[in-house]
Amino acid sequence: MTDTASHQLDDRSAVATNVSALCAAAAVLEVDDLSKSYPGEPPVQALRGVDLTIAQGELVGIVGPSGSGKTTLLQLMGTLDRPTSGRVRITGLDVATMADNDVAYLRATRIGFIFQQFFLAEYATVLDNVADGLLYAGVPLEQRRQRAIEALELVGLGGRPTARPTQLSGGQRQRVAIARALVGQPAIVLADEPTGNLDQATGSSILALIDELHHAGSTIVVITHDHSIAERMLRKVEILDGHIVADTGALESPLAHPPVPASDAPVGEEGS
């Protein structure tokens, strides 16, 4: 990460130290020597010693071919599964040391998910689908609905709160899912092939929405097999056979979209 600065400035080590201090203070996700094997004959080694740090305000594309370990990585980063070895820290909190209940609360309050298949409740209204994103955070019903309306406005669906997912197009369904992911103002949003079920034009509009949300301050990781999608992200990480084989680095995005100054953001605590 510090290599980029090294050719440019005489006083480079001081600059590099400041930048890494800033990144460390604002790291929302840290993955350390992460490995995952699935049982079988022989076992499948899906991830092999992955290191990755994502700072507040980044937009990161993780790209790799089918079977390279992308979904496994997303599930571990999202605390949906536990690694075989290695560590995951979310906003400085080490998931491995936490009880299942605490991990569930951490996930509900700090991580938003967007999936290729949307995973909406077909029988519930759009409003309730989004409001349910706050259920486990212990927010009272009226407040859940109010915040859901705001999140729907953010994704351009403020006018359709009583529609059912079955009455919506694929792109609109994904917007509902994005509103649900954002309604709790999570520290990080993890998207697994978010345009995988959409035609090209609709997919493009979803990527434009992801861009907008990033500019508004969200930290977002998009997992994709499509290099042209990954190219749109400020930082591109390539994964192959369970290894990270390339990473354009974290330097540029936090500087392009400065995070809250370290002094205002105590480590391990949320500002709001």
Which residues sit at the interface with Mg ion, rule CB under 5 A? 70-71
Give the residue with the Cβ less far from Mg ion, 70 or 144: 70
Give the residue with the Cβ less far from ligand ADP, 70 or 235: 70
Which residues, including other chains, have CB under 8 Å from residue 152's CB and lie 6 or more apart?
126, 127, 130, 158, 160, 161, 176, 179
Contact positions with ligand ADP (CB under 6 A) in 32-51: 38, 40, 44, 46
194 part of the interface to ligand ADP, by CB under 6 A: no
144 exposed, middle or buried (CB, 10 Å; 0-12, 13-18, 19+)? buried
User: In angstroms, what CA-CA distances link 58 with 193, 215, 220, 234?
Assistant: 18, 10, 6, 8
**What residue 79 binds from Mg ion, ligand ADP, none (CB within 5 to 8 A, per partner kind)?**
none
Task: Identify whether the C-beta of residue 236 lies closer than 8 Å to the C-beta of residue 246.
Answer: yes
User: In angstroms, what CA-CA distances link 82 with 34, 53, 56, 77, 241?
Assistant: 10, 18, 23, 9, 19
CB of 45 to ligand ADP, least distance (A): 8
H or E segment and range at residue 45: strand 44-55
Closest by Cα among 40, 12, 143, 35 to 82: 35
CB of 66 to ligand ADP, least distance (A): 4
**Residue 3 falls in which region: left (phi positive, over 0), alpha (psi -120 to 50) or beta:** alpha
Distance from first CA to last CA of the chain, Å, rounded? 30
Give the residue with the Cβ less far from Mg ion, 70 or 236: 70
Give the residue with the Cβ less far from ligand ADP, 148 or 221: 221
Q: Taking contact as CB under 6 A, which single stretch among the options 70-78, 89-97, 208-216, 245-253 is the one that binds ligand ADP?
A: 70-78
**Strand, helix or coil at 98?**
coil
Q: Taking contact as CB under 6 A, which single stretch among the options 63-71, 92-100, 181-189, 212-220 is the one that binds ligand ADP?
A: 63-71
Pick from 8, 66, 101, 166 the residue near ligand ADP by CB under 6 A: 66
Pick from 68, 79, 109, 218 the residue near ligand ADP by CB under 6 A: 68
CB of 232 to ligand ADP, least distance (A): 19
Closest by Cα among 55, 169, 62, 186 to 118: 169
Pick from 57, 61, 69, 254 the residue near ligand ADP by CB under 6 A: 69
**What residue 38 binds from Mg ion, ligand ADP, none (CB within 5 to 8 A, per partner kind)?**
ligand ADP
The residues that touch ligand ADP, with contacts defined as CB under 6 A, are 38, 40, 44, 46, 64, 66-72
